[in-house]
Structure 1
Amino acid sequence: MRLREWLSAAAVVWACTQTQASQDLQDREMALAAQLRCVVCQNQTVAESRAPMAQDMRREIRTQLEQGHSNAEVIAFFEQRYGAFVRYNPPWKPSTWLLWCGPFFAALGGFWLLRRTLRRGRPENVPLTQAQRQRARQWLDEEMPDEGKKEEQA
C-alpha cells in the first residue's frame, strides 16, 4: 500500500510540473507574440491578430520554444524571414535611426515652418497716405447712408 500512495503522489507531482511547464511555455509564447508584428495586419501584434498568418506565426513560436530555442533565437528567426519590420519595436541601430528619429525631425521642421510663416505673415504698421485715407472715407460715407436707410425701413 505504501508503494501505491507513493506512485499516486509522484503522479500528482509530475502532473503539476507538466502544467507549470506548459504554463511557462505559454507565457513565453504570448510575450514573444506581443513583440512581433503581424505581417498581414501590420498594425497589430501577432498576439492580438486573428489573421491565419498570425495563427501560423504563433504555432511557429510554440514549436521553436518546445525545441528549446531562446527568445532571442525565435525573434532572430522571424527577423531573418520577414525583415526587421516584423519586430513591433525595432531595435536602435543605424538602419532604424530614421524610423526612431524621423517623427521628431518632422515635428521640429513643422514648428520651424509654422514660426517662419507666422512671422512673414504679419502686416507691417505702415501709415496710410492721404489719398488712401480719403478713399477709405469715401467708401465709408457711401456705405453708411445705405445702412441707415435699411434701419429706418425696418
Structure 2
Amino acid sequence: MMLRALMFVMALAVFSPSPSFAVEPDEILSDPALEARARELGKSLRCVVCQNQPIDESNADLARDMRILVRDRISSGDTNEQVLAYMVDRYGDFVLLDPPFKASTLVLWIGPGVIAVFGMFAVVSFYRRNKSNDDATAVAANPQTAPLSDDERKRLDALLKDDDA
C-alpha cells in the first residue's frame, strides 16, 4: 500500500505542469533590485511569437531579444512605465498581457465574448435542427408511427365498427 502511494506521488511529480523560466544566466542583471523589476516587467509583456506566454517564460529567440531589451532599458535608468511605453511603441498594444481598454484594443477585449456567443448560438441551432430532422427521419423510417391518411382513417373506422357489431 505504501509503495502504491509512493508511486502515485512520483507520477504526480513527473506529470504535473511546472513553470518554465526561460531567462538565461547571461541575461540576468547583477543588481537584484533591477533584476526583480525586469522579471516583473517580463511577466506583463507578451511574447509576440508564442502570443499567450509572457516573455519571461518563453524560449523563443524574439522573447530573448525582448528580455535583453527590457534589461537594457532598465539598466539605462528607464522607469517601468517608460519601458512599457517603449515596448508598446515598438510592438503595439498587443505586447501587453493586460492591454488598455480603448478603441484600438476593442477587439482584444470584446472578441472572445463575441466568439463565445456565436459558438453557443451555433451549437444550440445545430442541436435544434438535428432534433427536428431526427423526428422527421424517425417518422419516415418507421411507417407505423406516421400519421394516417384520410383513406386509412376511414378504413380503420370501418374495421373498428365491424368489430363492435
TM-score range, shorter chain: 0.5 to 0.7
For 2:58, the equivalent position in structure 1 comes to: 49
SS at match of 2:38: helix
Letter in structure 1 aligned against 2:32: Q
Unaligned 5+ segments in structure 1 are 1-20, 135-154
1:32 equivalent in structure 2 = 41
TM-score, with normalisation over the residues of structure 2?
0.56
Specify the alignment match of 1:97 in structure 2. 106
Given candidates 109, 121, 124, the residue that maps to 2:118 is 109
Report the CA distance shift for 1:132/1:23 in structure 2 as closer, same or farther (over 3 A).
farther
2:119 & 2:69 partners in 1: Cα distance? Answer: 43
C-alpha distance 132-35 of structure 1, shift in aligned 2 (>3 A): farther
Q: Distance in 2 between matches of 1:86 and 1:72?
A: 14
Q: 1:127 to 1:70 in 2, by over 3 A?
A: same
The correspondence for 1:128, drawn from 132, 135, 147, is 147
- After TM superposition, give the deviation of residue 54 of structure 1 in Å: 2.1
Structural mapping, 1:59-98, within 5 Å:
59-98=68-107
**Which one-letter code corresponds to 1:81 in the other structure?**
R
Greater helix share, structure number: 1
- RMSD of equivalent CA atoms: 3.1
| SS at 1:98 equivalent | helix
Distance 1:58 1:110 in 2: 37
Give 1:114 deviation, angstroms.
3.4
The aligned counterpart of 1:149 is none
Indicate the structure (1 or 2) with the bigger Cα radius of gyration: 1
Aligned residues with identical type, % of pairs: 37
* Gaps in structure 2 of 5+ consecutive residues: 1-29, 140-144, 154-165
The TM-score normalised by the length of structure 1 is 0.60
Whole-angstrom CA distance in 1 between matches of 2:152 and 2:73: 84
More displaced, 72-81 or 123-132? 123-132
CA distance in 2, matches of 1:81, 1:30: 19
